[in-house]
Amino acid sequence: MTEQSTFRKAAFFTLGCKLNFAETSTLARCMEERGIMRAAPGESPDICVVNTCSVTQMADKKARHLVRNLHSRWPKAAIVVTGCYAQLKPEEAAGLPGVDIVLGAAEKGRFAEFLDKWLADRTPLSQAQPTAQLREFAPSCERGDRTRWWLKVQDGCDYFCSYCTIPYARGRSRSPMIADLVEQAGKAAGEGAKEIVLTGVNVGDFGNAHGESFFDLVRALDKVEGIERFRISSIEPNLLEPDLIRWVARESRAFMPHFHLPLQSGSDAVLKMMRRRYDTALFASRVELIRQEIPDAFIGVDVIAGARGETPQEWDKSLRFIESLDVTRLHVFPYSERPGTLALTLPDPVSPADRHSRAARLGQVSERKFAAFLKARRGEERPVLWEGRASRGMMHGLTDNYVRVEAPFRADLINTVERVRIGDPDPTMTDTLTLLEP
């Protein structure tokens, strides 16, 4: 028996963004190539891989908490910590109980090499290349947990918004060539992929350094045979070109009527302090154009509640602006102070209690908007990609415009697109689920 064969099962834990989820799948595939398979539910893993986030202080806390929990649950398992927390605080991560390997952002992209080294000698490893030197793009195109695939089209960010640590954890913006991504999407189609989500830190910045554009990319991907659906995970409003919106509405074969835009604040003064690259007028014009071109599109919006500088007057302006937007749903985050960010030098900090009460208020606005969006869908016929079994003998899937629906389970329909009529919200489930009419 080789040393390596003592490691048979691995469990994977992902915190944070969709990009991290895509990368975790790549790490899992790398393990599988070495005969280390995913532990089934209830099985004890020999290795736990924790792909961390560091976008808020809470994210760091969650990473530490998760590692401690894993170690107390499976004290004999080796623990690998990677991702943004490992990049920003490698020593702290290495000091957590049970941790054998710490890999920063560049090292995550060379996971196979580090894993082989560790499997050969079992010497604890902690390596995180300085962020300023992060230049390489580590490709990733993987099946998510269900039928959707995630294609990483970009990494890093050059924007340096005043509250954000991501450029310090993931480095400068970089992306591969369109031809590489078209090839990866074609390969995924060959493996049965029907839907691909384009992920990245700042996807709209794709190709900036090598003379290609995000719009060129989506037009090229739209031609990939076998992929029936593409989604854009999130795009900065200033990078969502009006022509791209019109193209999705009028010409695209496979890009879905689904947009996700980070707004962060509805106050121009706060946006300026955040160093965002748009104002509320630009944001509103993008939303209006989407609505004009695709009235039933899903429009998700990120908002940070209680950022520094959000005085009661600016909060009031922000709330009124957000209420006025014809969007579908908000993703609300209470502001989190991040050491080392410029935001800490800004005036007018908001108390944690006010950050949370503002977040709760925005949560109510979101619920109202989302309920109205779901209600308007009733009776519509829409294409659904069936994903898998839900509870109570049902299967679930997503419409083109991102409404989660369910129907009685049929194995032959999984990973196929079917046109269905939308019914009422299911009162026993969360508001993301809608029952189909029989």
Which positions lie near ligand SF4, rule CB under 6 A? 157, 159-161, 164, 166-167, 201-202, 236
User: Which one, 159 or 247, has the nearer CB to ligand SF4?
Assistant: 159
Least CB distance from residue 154 to ligand SF4, whole Å?
11
- Helix, strand, or coil (residue 219): helix
User: Which one, 166 or 305, has the nearer CB to ligand SF4?
Assistant: 166
Rg, Å, the chain Cα set: 22
Least CB distance from residue 159 to ligand SF4, whole Å?
4
User: Which one, 77 or 86, has the nearer CB to ligand SF4?
Assistant: 86
Least CB distance from residue 264 to ligand SF4, whole Å?
7
Question: What are the residue ranges of helices labelled H in 275-421?
Answer: 280-293, 312-324, 352-377
User: Which one, 39 or 161, has the nearer CB to ligand SF4?
Assistant: 161
- Helix, strand, or coil (residue 224): coil
Task: Annotate 144-200 with three-state secondary structure.
Answer: CCCCEEEEECCECCCCCCCCCCHHHHHCCCECCCHHHHHHHHHHHHHCCCCEEEEEC
CA-CA distance, 315 to 206, in Å (whole number)? 33
Least CB distance from residue 58 to ligand SF4, whole Å?
16
Least CB distance from residue 260 to ligand SF4, whole Å?
12
Paired tokens of 199:
């992920």
Least CB distance from residue 236 to ligand SF4, whole Å?
6
Least CB distance from residue 167 to ligand SF4, whole Å?
5
- Helix, strand, or coil (residue 123): coil
Residue 428, Cβ neighbours under 10 Å: how many?
A: 9
User: Which one, 335 or 386, has the nearer CB to ligand SF4?
Assistant: 335
User: Which one, 236 or 310, has the nearer CB to ligand SF4?
Assistant: 236
Paired tokens of 28:
């899992």
Nearest alpha carbon to residue 263 among 255, 274, 250, 254:
274
User: Which one, 140 or 202, has the nearer CB to ligand SF4?
Assistant: 202
Least CB distance from residue 341 to ligand SF4, whole Å?
10
CA-CA distance, 328 to 287, in Å (whole number)? 10
User: Which one, 162 or 328, has the nearer CB to ligand SF4?
Assistant: 162
User: Which one, 93 or 343, has the nearer CB to ligand SF4?
Assistant: 343
Q: Is 194 left (phi over 0), alpha (psi -120 to 50) or beta?
A: alpha
Least CB distance from residue 334 to ligand SF4, whole Å?
16
CA-CA distance, 151 to 232, in Å (whole number)? 10
Residue 358, Cβ neighbours under 10 Å: how many?
A: 23
Q: Is 35 exposed, middle or buried (0-12, 13-18, 19+ CB in 10 A)?
A: exposed
